[in-house]
Amino acid sequence: MIPGLGFDVLGEMRAYRDGTELPRLGAPQQQGTLLVLLLLAGHAVSMTQLVKALWGEEPPAAAVRSIRTHIWRLRGLLGSEGSPAHELLSVGDGYRLDIDASAVDANRAEAMLKKALRLRLAGQSDTASDILDEAMDLWRGDPLAGVPGPFAERQRDRLSELRLTVTEEQLELDLARGRHQMTILRLRELADAYPLRERLHGLLMRALYAAGRQADALAVFNATRTLLVEEYGLEPGPQLTELHQRILQGDLLPATVTETVTVTPPGSARLVPAQLPPDLPDFTGRTAEIDELCELLTGSRGSAPAVVSLTGMSGVGKSVLAVHVAHRVRDAYPDGQLFWGLRGTGDRPAHSSEVLAGFLSALGVEAVPAGTAARCRMFRSLLDGRKMLLVLDDARDADQVRDLLPGSSSCAVVVTHRARLAGLPLTRQLGLRSFSHHEALELLGRTLGRHRLEREPDEALLLTEACGGLPLALRILATRLAARPDWSLAVMGERLGNERRTVAELQVGGLSVSNALEPGYRRLPPEQARALRLLARGTGEQITVSAAATVLHADRFATEDLLEALVDAVLLEPATPGSYTMHPLVRRFARHHTRAEETAKLRTVPALSAASRRTTYVVSRPE
């Protein structure tokens, strides 16, 4: 029981004395008078403020007399045992209601929301959710039902906004705890009811994406943007736009370090890092590879840790597969999962000393030692006897990885890299190739919907061929088509069919086939880069050593060395002994560079003067 006066405004107005509900609060105008005093409790409210709150700028002549009558009646209604309410005081020409703010349900709801936000930021999601549920239970219908006046109208809007914000926070917590399926229907209804509220549309996009419905999530953004642009001439805000871009890139949630605490048998607390990036909700294909990798990472161990590597050309899906498999086997590594992007294809690859410092910090080491060797010794000591999984993404070479390998056989490592790693104690080196037609169609169907592919089956197959089955290209293509539901597959096929446009067409947001291939091309020595360009123009689908030697004007041994160097750079693939293949997108990428370099050379040729052009004409004119 709450002692003293209490009030409910989140529905019809009600009053309580020591927990017992009081009779009805009188006429609507009288309730309006009480409302102003309630929501300004503890503050003196002048007669002018009261009149304006009830009638606005044009009050009736008897406004002041009416308010005084309302106050007199309210004192009697709110009193106790026949005595007028001592909490309702006269102050100057106005009045003050002396009650605690928590005596009003609306104030309690607002305080609960603020507390839940603090708890959510502190990582106490379950407690925050319970508090929000309690806050929602305070609403009994439309707030201030039947109370008239400008002040009541403004408060009705504010309290409706408060309720919607509490609802959004509940849904935010539901999504954070993986309850996306449960929230989609509710979010649909709310987004339809509040079409201009971008946060609701953003939550719906996130829920759909988490449920594996990327195309539906993108369609929500397109519909929202169309409404805003056509009705109000406005683009969506930065948060919704950024969310849209991250869905296009398949990177909705950033790779963050989340750490929890577990208790080990001796009783000492250990940090259990959980650094894996989120898995893709629409992961497709690689069934045989997944089975093999899971077996290697969870099977019986020898005296050394399992170290598996994934190789393949840029865009083939090495990182995506590594993260997917890591999530599949994480229960076998209860002491934690460490992840680091080594930036091997970039201009500034991570140094092993930097990575070790990050891992040691994640394991709770406050005083990280100086020097790579000391950090490596401490890292291996901490991992000894622990069951921990490491994912090292985008390695440059073996030297970058060697000091990051644990010594304990209870640990395991997954490494991704473009070129083959030599000199590491690898359990298995798995080369990834492009998707088969079946896998490629499955990926397109997951994003676009099977019905769209079934309407144009031949065109769908041609699109997978144009992409060469490269997962990155397929994902870009699917994302672009999902954002253009009225485009036929044939239209996109025509755009990809123009070789000069193919590479340019395969980009969306921050994803680009050209950007994926460019770093590897830039690192080629000039002789190898020239060989790649010549082979892209002068050979067919199957590149034999003899045909390549003719194109490169080189002997067989020098040609074979160049071809093997391009294989090591993952820009050619060995087929049968003495023959190689070039991925169609690598071929088009190389031809694009050839055209670009030829154009650049033409621009550097000095312009001929008019006299020089005449001389040239005279000299070259046939007799």
Q: For the chain, report the end-to-end CA distance as a whole number of angstroms.
A: 116
Where does the pLDDT of residue 452 fall: very low under 50, low under 70, confident under 90, or very high at 90 and above? confident
Residues ≥6 apart with Cβ < 8 Å to 591: 499, 533, 536, 537
| pLDDT reported for residue 119 | 83
> At residue 321, does pLDDT exceed 90?
yes
Q: What share of the chain is helix, strand, coil (3-state, %, to 5)?
A: 55, 10, 35
> At residue 337, does pLDDT exceed 80?
yes
Average pLDDT over residues 300-320: 85
- What are the pLDDT digits (tens) for 569-607? 888 888 888 889 888 888 888 888 887 776 666 665 555
Residue owning tokens 């650094």: 275
Number of Cβ atoms within 10 Å of the Cβ of 315:
26
- What are the pLDDT digits (tens) for 386-404? 899 999 999 988 888 999 9
| pLDDT reported for residue 263 | 31
Of residues 82 and 192, more confidence is placed in 192
Q: How many angstroms separate the CA atoms of 6 and 22, rounded?
A: 10
Where does the pLDDT of residue 255 fall: very low under 50, low under 70, confident under 90, or very high at 90 and above? very low
| pLDDT reported for residue 205 | 92
| pLDDT reported for residue 266 | 33
> At residue 615, does pLDDT exceed 60?
no
Residues ≥6 apart with Cβ < 8 Å to 201: 191, 220, 221, 224, 240
The DSSP H or E segment spanning 471 is helix 471-482
Mean pLDDT rounded to a whole number for the chain: 83
Where does the pLDDT of residue 271 fall: very low under 50, low under 70, confident under 90, or very high at 90 and above? low
Residue owning tokens 């890591």: 326
Average pLDDT over residues 192-201: 90
> At residue 613, does pLDDT exceed 50?
no
Number of Cβ atoms within 10 Å of the Cβ of 66:
20
Q: How many angstroms separate the CA atoms of 55 and 47, rounded?
A: 12
Average pLDDT over residues 605-611: 51
| pLDDT reported for residue 449 | 81
By three-state DSSP, how is residue 371 classified? coil
Q: Between vectors from CA 92 to CA 91 and to CA 93, what angle results, nearest 5°?
A: 105
543: buried, middle or exposed (CB in 10 Å: 19+, 13-18, 0-12)?
A: buried
Of the listed ranges 148-162, 327-341, 417-431, the one predicted with least confidence:
417-431
Q: How many angstroms separate the CA atoms of 16 and 37, rounded?
A: 16
> At residue 245, does pLDDT exceed 70?
yes
CB 418 within 8 A of CB 314: yes
Q: Which residues of 431-450 are buried (b: 16+ CB within 10 A; e: fewer)?
A: bbebbeeebbbbbbbbbbbe
CB 99 within 8 A of CB 87: yes
